[in-house]
Chains A and B, each alone.
Chain A
Amino acid sequence: FSENLQCQALPEKVKIVEVGPRDGLQNEKTIVPTETKIHLIDMLSVSGLPVIEATSFVSPKWVPQMADQVEVMKGICRQPGVSYPVLTPNLKGFQAAVKAGASEVAIFGAASELFSKKNINCSVDESLQRFDEVMKAAKEAGVPVRGYVSCVLGCPYEGKVAPEKVAHVAKSLYSMGCYEISLGDTIGVGTPGSMSEMLEAVSREVPVNALAVHCHDTYGQALANILVALQMGISVVDSSVAGLGGCPYAQGASGNVATEDVVYMLHGLGIQTGVDLSKLMDAGAFICRSLNRKTNSKVSQATCKL
């Protein structure tokens, strides 16, 4: 066993994409007041995070939690050097987002046909066609677009998902013009085994420096999966402050991996993130108080002095 292999394989810096205010809150049962959302984003903005996914321009009919998308976008105090991408499922959402001041957007594809149909009512290919419109408009407006692929390590309906299918969707999004593709283990079933198999397939089609991992911690595997991804050259990790957001497919289970726990691991590995862990924990404590719930972050739960 090579002693040095593990150390040499890791990136020096990792970019954290904070998805708590969008992916996190979207999966919380309580509707969060607009001011609370704004305050959360403002606290996160000063913690050193380079990217904070602020809201989602989907129809409030489908996602009531994000109905205040325009007010949130207009109300936040944008820090220089921080990006605030928003979800835009279609052209209409894109136009509304730009009008509200968005300077970066994100689109969502799925590696599973059934999930695509159940989640956004169309096939994977149809969804990519929809996004084509968004991509064209974004290019014209000079707005960067991030692509998400969900169900990369398993689907709640189809079960196993072929790595080649993930690679196909990732490649399509990248070819269409997405600058980065975030690969999401939507139901958290992945392990270092399936993560590495999937990343090998995808990295043949999309350069590794354009890839990110979005791991859910539903089965406690997120940090191990992230470690393996880092060892394979990935240097962008999505996470959610306080591990906000449950799993709609596993009652009572956790969803997003907690940003605090990711940052703790990365710093322990000597990897730079630019994030101030204590300010991040303050933001997590704030939102948990507002939601009247306990944090999902183990780092926050522990009070051990070291």
Chain B
Amino acid sequence: LSRIGDELYLEPTESGLSLRAVNSSRSAFASFLFAPLFFQLYEPGIAGPDTELFRCKVHMKSFLGVFRSLPSLEKSVGKCLILLKPRASRLVLQLHCKYGVTKTHNLAFQECERLQAVFDTQSCTSRLCAPARVLAEAVVHFPLTLAEVTLGTGPGGKISLQNYVEEAGESCRPSKTMVTQLWLAEDEFQSVAVAPGSHITFCLKEFRGLLSFAEASNLPLTIHFDEPGRPVVFTLDDSVLEVHLVLATLSDLESDAQSTLTNGVSHLPAPSDDFADDLESYMAAMETSEGGSGGPPSPTFSLHTPQPAESDPEEEEEEEEGAVPGTPPHKKFRSLFFGSVMTPGRPGPATTQEVLAEDSDGEC
């Protein structure tokens, strides 16, 4: 929850304690509902005819600070009491530890409105369910700094994940962004019910938080999505816990360029197939658009002191090493250290061996 927002909303309900968070741009919402059975004791309070059950929000950091070091908590804490005292304006967190030690934390809270994102998983056209491990292994290929990822469907029922790149259509990307795409087979999922050709783009950072929780608790993750622009809902379920993460997705209007890319995704042949290599025509276009061939060489590695004047052009043509004066000592060096690995006169165009040619003109 702390990966989403800075404030923790606590909402006791009849069906359990709900902890929620929302991000500042209101594009991500998460809620964890702990059923009464999760707790040793659960008293949500009494709601009157015109008063609702009390709810509040606290600073995320203050709340987390109480549970700072999980390993030591597990060793020393026997019980934890969470008590909401509306009249004292305090949320009390009391840790009952070993040896009769009790740590009481009083957190200031603010009253708040009900925090609820509008979503309905039933109305989503597509649904995927996978073990958290599979999804965790999938996102590991994307850099931690990656903001957005596109989840799509491909031929053969495959599901793809691709980093989202803002690009201006099909022309060459001016920003040298690497595009990473991962394909998962249908049978890696526990269930797949997706509309063909569907895709959504959402923020990976917020999803990673839920994913690590899911992995740690070994629960399968369900992804409910619809058209681009409509939120994607990630859910985790177990007998005492219900988790929802709702993320906004890029609408097709904003992702016009993206749809070019994702159309590419859905029309993509199976990944191992070949793609047309248009490099010959590309190279031809490049070469003809330049002027004549072979302009004067630009000085390269000009910081090096030139070799002694024995670099007779005639002798340079010999590819022999050894006693020939003016042969780059570099090559001689290679035979010193590489021994048989490097043979003199190694294959390759002669031009690459003329490293002493800096002083000569008209190098072609």
Partners in one complex: no
